[in-house]
Amino acid sequence: MATNFPRIREIADPYGEVVRISVEPHPGGALILIDRPNAPQSGQVMLDAYGADILLGYIMSARLAVPGTMPEEEIGGAFPTRFQLEPEPEAAVIIDQLNADEPLRIVLALWDRVYAELCIVCAHARELGRRRQSYLH
């Protein structure tokens, strides 16, 4: 069975926090959208495959760093973004899309599930990019 795009998944923790992650074709290969539909003051993040890979690594690094700190990571390109670890009061990865009003906050309780979903999303993004390259040649 082929994957239909956009592919959308919602991840919830036991306390009702929800993160929605989708991947869809984009002229650059793939567009990954991440938001918190039940958090009105939370931003939406748009990433390409590169940005999603960086977020994947940043979540794992944050997991290993807590309760300590770690430096922020910033990327440019089509979707300039800053990734930060907020260790207290409740550990969270902050994703600040540099052209957006509000950053997106992913709390510690969701890191493992978001990480696992991003592994799948990154594979889809690589395949969409590969298809785009094949189409252009």
Cα–Cα distance measured from residue 91 to residue 110, given in angstroms and rounded to the nearest whole number: 11
pLDDT of 137 above 50: no
Mean pLDDT along residues 75-97: 93
pLDDT of 100 above 80: no
Mean pLDDT along residues 74-101: 91
Share of the chain above pLDDT 70, in %: 95
Q: What is the pLDDT confidence band of residue 134, given thresholds at 50, 70 and 90?
A: low
Instruction: Express each pLDDT in 21-70 by its tens digit.
Output: 999 999 888 999 999 998 877 889 999 999 999 999 999 999 999 999 99
**Under 8 Å between Cβ of 23 and 86:** no
Instruction: Express each pLDDT in 111-120 by its tens digit.
Output: 999 999 999 9
| Backbone phi, psi, residue 43, to 5° | -80, 175
pTM surpassing 0.85? yes
| Backbone phi, psi, residue 128, to 5° | -65, -40
Q: What is the pLDDT confidence band of residue 1, given thresholds at 50, 70 and 90?
A: very low
Cα–Cα distance measured from residue 106 to residue 17, given in angstroms and rounded to the nearest whole number: 9
